[in-house]
Amino acid sequence: MNHGALIESFLGYFGGSSEKIRIFKSPGRVNLIGEHTDYNGGFVFPAALTLATTVVARPRQDRTIRLIATDLEVMVEADLDNLQAYRNLKWGNYQLGVADELIKAGYNVIGCDLMYEDKVPLGSGLSSSAAIELATAVALVSLGDEEYGKSKQIDMIEMAVISQKAEHNFIGVKCGIMDQFASAMGKKDHAIFLDCRDLSYELVPVKLDGYSLVISNTNKKRSLGEGKYNERRAQCEEGLEILKKVIPEATCLRDISCEDYEKYKHLLTDDVIRKRVEHVVYEDQRVLDSVKALKEGNLILFGKLMNQSHDSLRDLYEVTGAELDTLVDEARKQEGVLGSRMTGAGFGGCTVSLVENSKIDRFIESVGKAYKDKIGYEASFYISEIGDGGREVEVMA
Ligand code: GLA
């Protein structure tokens, strides 16, 4: 919806006047490579999308926060001084979790009405949740202190960290920092090469010279709350504990090099733990190699690394499944495809493929048909456009 229509819809839900309304936006992301490395202190290489969550916000005079979305009918209403009482809502958890963490961090969170328009497909592995979190964080912080946006800058890295804490403490998913960081710090036409150990980062221009990143959505809904995600994280921690006996200075799996792994893998006697560690160690190296390849314009090498990443997530980390594997297998059969892999946590969600521009229509048609034949329902396709991170947008009626 354009801003005029959004404001009209907001007033339809909440009444009152448009005088103090402000609009904020934060995007979803696609990860180019580096999966399940973030919570192991490793490297990731995501880019923010132009698909985003928009939030229309207006302050209130009391301590109530009210939430609605353009595609919902039931409003969530919560007391800012008692947020813990609202855990386990069907919708609204991410927003209230962020409010809770902002209050804990000392921000002045004031009562407000918030209406969301979500353009990031929910549960698709494109970080719809981080988009909601960051849009909420920027909105709440801006409403609570009018200096933000005028003389003060919002610390977007802090917003990412606070949003990640909301996932840990309010939602119960022990996610890494990648999604929130990408949603907060994304830059148009750039990918973020992020070191998750100290949050240092570099914006790398994504110049694909005749190629595009095509996102294919399995349309298989999944939720990270189901436990598989936290289970993978625990397995990595178990692997680290064992390797620490021979590499005591290691604080996370990122500190284990490929050479270390080959030298000491015999200590990982549990095959599952060994596979998880092997994935993480080599995936970190693939991120470094991919950043170099993209900087040098070596798309063929980048495509190969994407393929290796998927195969490792399928065989070693075991987070793909029939839907993602079918999309990837079919993509790789197409002419003009340099690489294809799952993106995000896995267990459903999306893949990303590097496809020659002139072959995209054919790609969508053939992969779409083969997927429908094998899986029984449709996949959806989007051409990635890389956009900016979370921010306030000027209201244009
Ligand atoms: C989810 C998590 C991220 C990251 C990815 C896997 O998107 O939120 O922190 O761990 O899975 O790379």
Which of 36, 171, 226 to mutate for ligand 1's pocket (most ligand atoms within 8 Å of CB)? 36
Question: What local confidence, expressed as pLDDT, does residue 88 receive?
Answer: 84
CB 5 within 8 A of CB 18: no
Which of 33, 163, 175, 196 to mutate for ligand 1's pocket (most ligand atoms within 8 Å of CB)? 175
Instruction: Let me know if 179 is a catalytic residue.
Output: yes
Q: What whole-number distance in Å separates Cα of residue 338 and Cα of residue 331?
A: 9
Q: Which atom of ligand 1 is nearest to the CA of 175?
A: 9
Q: Find the 168 Cα to ligand 1 centroid distance in Å.
A: 12
Q: What whole-number distance in Å separates Cα of residue 59 and Cα of residue 111?
A: 6
Beta bridge partners of 383: 214
Q: Which long-range contacts (CB under 8 A, 24 or more apart) does 393-396 make?
A: 393/23, 393/24, 393/25, 393/54, 394/23, 395/3, 395/7, 395/21, 395/22, 395/23, 396/2, 396/3, 396/4
pLDDT, tens digit (0-9, with 9 covering 90-100), for 94-106: 999 999 999 999 9
Let me know the angle formed at the C-alpha of 111 by 109 and 112, rounded to the nearest 5 degrees.
110
> Which strands form 43-44's sheet, in the order they lie side by side?
43-44, 190-195, 200-205
CB 97 within 8 A of CB 107: no
pLDDT, tens digit (0-9, with 9 covering 90-100), for 39-96: 999 999 999 999 999 999 999 999 999 999 999 989 999 999 999 999 889 899 999 9
Question: What local confidence, expressed as pLDDT, does residue 223 receive?
Answer: 59
Question: What local confidence, expressed as pLDDT, does residue 237 receive?
Answer: 98
| Ligand 1 pocket list (CB less than 6 A) | 35-36, 38-39, 175-176, 178-179, 344-345
CB 336 within 8 A of CB 358: yes
Q: Find the 341 Cα to ligand 1 centroid distance in Å.
A: 15
Q: Which atom of ligand 1 is nearest to the CA of 38?
A: 10
Question: What local confidence, expressed as pLDDT, does residue 226 receive?
Answer: 63
* Burial (CB count within 10 angstroms: exposed 0-12, middle 13-18, buried 19+), residue 31: buried
pLDDT above 60 for 361: yes
Q: Among 38, 100, 179, 325, which one carries the catalytic annotation?
A: 179
Percent above pLDDT 70 for the chain: 98
Q: Which residues of 123-161 are buried (b: 16+ CB within 10 A; e: fewer)?
A: bbbbbbbbbbbbbbbbbbbbbbbeebbeeeebebeebbb
Q: State the residue for tokens 């009210």.
A: 66
What is the pLDDT confidence band of residue 227, given thresholds at 50, 70 and 90? confident
pLDDT, tens digit (0-9, with 9 covering 90-100), for 105-135: 999 999 999 999 999 998 889 999 999 999 9
Percent above pLDDT 90 for the chain: 92
CATH T-level topology, domain 3-206+387-393: Ribosomal Protein S5; domain 2 (3.30.230)
CB 123 within 8 A of CB 158: no
> Which strands form 350-356's sheet, in the order they lie side by side?
337-343, 350-356, 211-217, 380-383
CA 374 to chain centre: 28
CB 395 within 8 A of CB 34: no
pLDDT, tens digit (0-9, with 9 covering 90-100), for 190-211: 999 999 999 999 999 999 999 9
Q: What whole-number distance in Å separates Cα of residue 106 and Cα of residue 139?
A: 16
| Whole-number Cα distances in Å, 358 to 294, 335, 355 | 21, 10, 8
What is the pLDDT confidence band of residue 325, given thresholds at 50, 70 and 90? very high
What single string gives the DSSP state of each residue in 55-91?
A: EEEEE-SSSEEEEEETT--SPEEEEGGGGGGGTT-SS
pTM: 0.97
Q: What whole-number distance in Å separates Cα of residue 317 and Cα of residue 294?
A: 25
Q: What whole-number distance in Å separates Cα of residue 121 and Cα of residue 132?
A: 12
Protein residue whose Cα sits closest to atom 5 of ligand 1: 345
Q: Are strands 64-69 and 112-118 parallel, antiparallel or unpaired?
A: parallel
Q: What whole-number distance in Å separates Cα of residue 218 and Cα of residue 89?
A: 26
* Residue 172 or residue 57, greater confidence: 57
Q: What whole-number distance in Å separates Cα of residue 42 and Cα of residue 311?
A: 19
* Residue 122 or residue 292, greater confidence: 292
Question: What local confidence, expressed as pLDDT, does residue 396 receive?
Answer: 74
Q: Classify 331 as helix, strand or coil.
A: helix
* Burial (CB count within 10 angstroms: exposed 0-12, middle 13-18, buried 19+), residue 390: buried
Q: What whole-number distance in Å separates Cα of residue 288 and Cα of residue 272?
A: 25
Q: Which atom of ligand 1 is nearest to the CA of 36?
A: 12
Most distant CA atoms of the chain, gap in Å: 68
